[in-house]
Amino acid sequence: MSMTTGEAGGNMSEINVTPMIDILLVLLIIFMVIVPVTPKGLDALVPQPSKDQKQNNTSDRTIVVQVIYVPGQRPQYKINETPLTKQELLPKLTEIFANRAERVMFVKGDDDLNFSYIAEVIDIGKAANVDHIGMMTPKIMAGQ
């Protein structure tokens, strides 16, 4: 605190605000640095329904890899209703996305399926140079 003498002859005390402003500026800088570092959520892709019913040729543009749960066995795989084995997925996806500018794939899995099978399909998609991989949930599938 600093003390000043006023004109009236009495002592008057004032708070020195300089240290508080310094602390405020340091906190401001800390928050400005921390905010861009906060983790960002997963980018999600959601298939959009066609606006025109006449444009049904979009089904050949959209690639959906289905992982179907079979009780007591390994899951079955399909690419747009074409059944494939797990070993055939990578060559087929590489062939499909070889000349495409839009490299988007969706993965649809059954509810009872272990997620490790879905993760394998995502890894296969990344190996086939797919840029964006979206997950189809049961709520999205019910709307189609």
Residue 103 belongs to a domain with what CATH number? 3.30.420
| pLDDT of 24 | 93
Residue 43 in this model has a pLDDT that exceeds 70: no
Structure-block tokens of residue 79: 């690419």
49 found inside a domain: no
**Who has greater pLDDT, 64 or 39?**
64
Burial 74-86 (b: 16+ CB within 10 A, else e): ebebebeeeebee
Q: Which domain holds residue 132?
A: 56-142
| pLDDT of 38 | 61
**Who has greater pLDDT, 16 or 143?**
16
| pLDDT of 58 | 45
| pLDDT of 139 | 62
Span 78-120, pLDDT tens digits? 988 889 888 888 899 888 888 888 888 999 888 888 888 888 9
14 found inside a domain: yes
15 found inside a domain: yes
Residue 134 in this model has a pLDDT that exceeds 80: yes
Structure-block tokens of residue 125: 């998609």
45 found inside a domain: no
Residue 49 in this model has a pLDDT that exceeds 70: no
Structure-block tokens of residue 50: 């066609």
Q: Are residues 21 and 89 in the same domain?
A: no
| pLDDT of 25 | 94
**Who has greater pLDDT, 31 or 137?**
31
Q: Are residues 32 and 60 in the same domain?
A: no
Q: Are residues 66 and 130 in the same domain?
A: yes
